[in-house]
Amino acid sequence: MLKSTLLVATKAGANEILRFFNNDFKISNKVGVNNLVTEADHASEKAIISVIKNAYPDHHILAEESGEIVQDSTYKWIIDPIDGTVNFAHGIPLNCVSIGVEYKGEIIMAAVYNPHLNEFFFAEKGKGAFLNDKPIQVSEESQTIKACLVTGFPYTYINEPNGPIEIFEKFVRKGVPVRRLGSAAIDLCWVAAGRFDGFYEHKLEPWDSAAGFLIVEEAGGKVTDLQGNKFSVYQHKVLATNGKIHDEMIEVINNKKEL
């Protein structure tokens, strides 16, 4: 029932995305430049939470727009109703619903659905990762210099040494292609599917990474923080790769090696 609820909730959110996409809707701004939230975000989140509450009224919920619905439960649903809101607001079909299910502090199930491309990613702990019910695996690339990478930049720039721009420059100056799609959940899923060899970002929130993180790992990839430490969805920095370029990327990111 947990899986079926996750699938129904994800599709309910996606239906709202499609209902509003390229139509008129209200847009407002959160903290930071271009950190948008739309009427569709709220509608998608409401639809998702309604499905979850109907099935599991006692489960804890953490959602991007409405915050936490705290319950004394070992289960927590971590929800991004539209990951890639800026894309959505500009009519760019790279956005998705992203939901991770946490049990006793561990992500055990995940779904990411881009309804524009009809790509539904799903993973369950220990049971593999899937795209539209077909198993997926990370790429085989073993050299960072030959990799295709993807990243994102925070809306409020982190003014720190070795920040997003500096790391981006390390790769692109050596001719490594680094894309920016505007949706961390899609970035992670595309690493899982072998389209990208690695993804890194400096400032993600739990709803950005909770689902994609598990999907990458279940596809055979590796996810850590930028120093190579164990990853938690409750810290901001993430490096997700096919596993084969992971150590080399950590060395480059942390100025221990040049490509």
Q: Which residues are catalytic?
A: 64, 80, 82-83, 85, 208
CA 222 to each of CA 197, 199, 217, 231: distance values in angstroms, whole numbers, following the listed order: 11, 11, 6, 10
Count H helices and E strands in the chain, helices first: 7, 15
Run of H or E residues at 20: helix 2-20
Q: What is the residue type of 198?
A: G
Q: Could you give phi then psi for residue 110, rounded to 5 degrees?
A: -150, 145
Distance between CA 183 and CA 36 in Å, rounded?
A: 13
Angle, to 10 degrees, between the axis of helix 2-20 and the axis of helix 39-55? 160
Radius of gyration from C-alpha coordinates of the chain: 17
Q: Which residue has the tokens 């799903």?
A: 122
Angle at 166 between CA 165 and CA 170, to 5 degrees: 115
Distance between CA 181 and CA 163 in Å, rounded?
A: 19
Distance between CA 150 and CA 171 in Å, rounded?
A: 11
